[in-house]
Structure 1
Amino acid sequence: MSKWTTADIPDQSRRVAVVTGANTGLGFETADALAAKGAHVVLAVRNLDKGKEAASRITAAHPSADVTLQELDLGSLESVRSAAAELRATHDRIDLLINNAGLMYPPKGTTGDGFELQFGTNHLGHFAFTGLLIDRLLPAPGSRVVTVSSIGHRLNAAIHFDDLNWERSYHRVAAYGQSKLANLLFTYELQRRLASHGTTVAVAAHPGGSDTDLMRHLPSGLQFAMPVLRPLFQSAEMGALPTLRAATDSGVLGAEYYGPDGPGGLRGYPKLVPSSDQSHDVELQHRLWTVSEELTGVAYPA
């Protein structure tokens, strides 16, 4: 299929979609498109005021949209557990879990639980959130967990098991690469564990080079060059298409990865794309999974 767009999203009526980081950028565009197709969309956001603004924008554009808010700070395991408990109390089933929220290239810092910001938020927060909601996804035929990775999973990326929190040294680009590689390792291992259930699949997507608020922590040299580089990037609306295709295209299979079809995967329409050889390392997937359960205290059901 060429030039897949939001027009190709099938009817999402009676489906429940939870989208993390849905108040802006890629998450907002994802939530907006799903709501436009009839899904009940939960905007899982850290800042409720910004979430309310996003919900108002969606309902203004689509008056019949069914949108609710859920407070969620992926950098706090307490918040993750609280949000998951509230969603479990209000939803017997979840059809789509879109793990979209994230940080890119922030200054060195830690989450409230002491994890490096990017690894703790981009990977561990979503790992725990998914694990706490997985039994709401399993009863829903055709349900999906879509985790947003990045072409950055190839950039100086490795899982530094000897220093996951970058306490000895910190390189913001490499730390981002670690977190995005972790997103893929998680997706592929999750799919392996879900395969026997036959109802839920785990897939991944990346937005290419999208001009969003995620760029706010770019190193100074790149910020200086952005006026020249910006034409290489695409809009958040285009950047959300791989996630939307991974979430709704009937032909999607577990452990697939979707991204833009243009040169270097920076821009274009969504298609099935390859990820790094390292992301398919089964031993690495197993090891990261075990460490993630230990660090978060969230054990997935057998």
Structure 2
Amino acid sequence: MKGHWTFNRNSTADQVLEGKDLTGKIALVTGANGGIGFETARALAAAGAQVILACRNPELGEQALSRIRLAHPHAKVELALLDLASPASVRACAHGIREREDIPQLDILICNAGSMSMQYLLTEEGIERTVAVCHLGHFLLCRELLDTLLLAPAPRVVVVSSESHKYPFKLDFDNLLVSRKQGAVTAFNAYGQAKLCNALMALELQQRYGAKGLTACAVHPGALVTTGFGNGSWLTQLAFKVASPFTKTPNQGAATSVMCATHDNSEDIAGGYFSHCRPARRSKEAANPAVAKRLWDFSEQHVQQGGAAS
């Protein structure tokens, strides 16, 4: 992928946006009450964008708004309640945005929220929670906001994936919605499947809507000091401690997302996979357009059925 890449693994979101004026842009960031989601929303707002923080917890969401306003008194930020594990909540959030006269279009959508539990948890619809939150909720949100995105002159969709997408070598369509049976497959496999879905969704978004002006890509934010992996088993905690010198701060973790959301040349970003603020190599499965299309059709059929596992 061509392009001059100024930033690197140590760059922060603020450094990426230095000198950029995003006044007039409207952005929505999921999972924006903490971690890289918060830093993504804060940095975009500091650069002048109107930012919607889409959060599940209203109390934490309000706290995030207060923190941004304290740091940037002129920031245009607001809260939208969004539980990605609930199709009804996703539809309600999108409907509220579509009906707003003061939101004529959506310029930037950053699908940042994620979930990984060491326990086997199902949503009310019977879907394994990691896949429901990381992929299906974001797929439905993109679907519901697509018309609003396409009203923007140059809309961007950034899907936060992970290098973990490389470890399930194939997407397991037969078991994707339940993802694992308790005690049989690790939480890391469910997370890897979900992150592979993220990379494939971005690829198919670009394929389907690139001709209409939309630019989509997937990003790996890097290993973060705030990740929940350090709260797992003693072996997981030991591995996390060994890797800790190579981790990023949330501000650094947000850098690749905001770079892709605001990069001057959309052709450099379109359909790509990025890490450390530059193009990166994705897995063979994540680059397979046939798998991406199959996942899109699979997800479309699922959400049309109401979101329940079959």
Same fold (TM over 0.5): yes
Which of the residues 225, 235, 249 maps onto 1:221?
Answer: 235
Which of the residues 239, 245, 251 maps onto 1:237?
Answer: 251
Stretch deviating more after TM superposition (250-259 or 34-43)? 250-259
Post-superposition offset of 1:138 = 0.4
The alignment status of 1:188 with 2:203, answered yes or no, reads yes
Post-superposition offset of 1:45 = 0.1
The separation in 1 between residues aligned to 2:44 and 2:187, in whole angstroms, is 33
- Runs of 4+ with deviation above 4 angstroms: none
Post-superposition offset of 1:57 = 0.5
Amino acid at match of 1:207: P
Which of the residues 265, 273, 286 maps onto 2:280?
Answer: 273
Which of the residues 246, 253, 258 maps onto 2:269?
Answer: 253
The alignment status of 1:23 with 2:20, answered yes or no, reads no
Amino acid at match of 2:170: A
Unmatched 5+ stretches in structure 2: none
Q: TM-score, normalised by structure 1?
A: 0.91
The alignment status of 1:297 with 2:301, answered yes or no, reads no
The separation in 1 between residues aligned to 2:37 and 2:218, in whole angstroms, is 14
CA RMSD of aligned residues (A): 1.8
The alignment status of 1:7 with 2:36, answered yes or no, reads no
Identity %: 38
The separation in 1 between residues aligned to 2:305 and 2:39, in whole angstroms, is 30
**More relative contact order, 1 or 2 (CA 8 Å, 6+ apart):** 2
Which of the residues 126, 148, 151 maps onto 2:138?
Answer: 126
Contact kept in structure 1, 2:16 and 2:255, CA below 8 Å: no
Across the two proteins, how many residue pairs are aligned to each other?
A: 289
Matches within 5 A, 1:158-173: 158-164=170-176, 165-166=178-179, 168=181, 169-173=184-188
Q: What's the CA shift string for 1:240-291, capped at 9, x where partnerless?
A: 111111101112431012112xxxxxxxxx1111211111112211111111
Match of 1:94 in 2: 106
User: Quick one: structure 1 residues 167 and 231, their matched pair in 2 at CA, closer, same or farther if it must change by over 3 Å?
Assistant: closer
Which of the residues 45, 49, 55 maps onto 1:35?
Answer: 45
Secondary structure class of the residue paired with 1:194:
helix
Unmatched 5+ stretches in structure 1: 261-269
The alignment status of 1:139 with 2:151, answered yes or no, reads yes
Post-superposition offset of 1:142 = 1.5
Amino acid at match of 1:144: R
The alignment status of 1:285 with 2:292, answered yes or no, reads yes
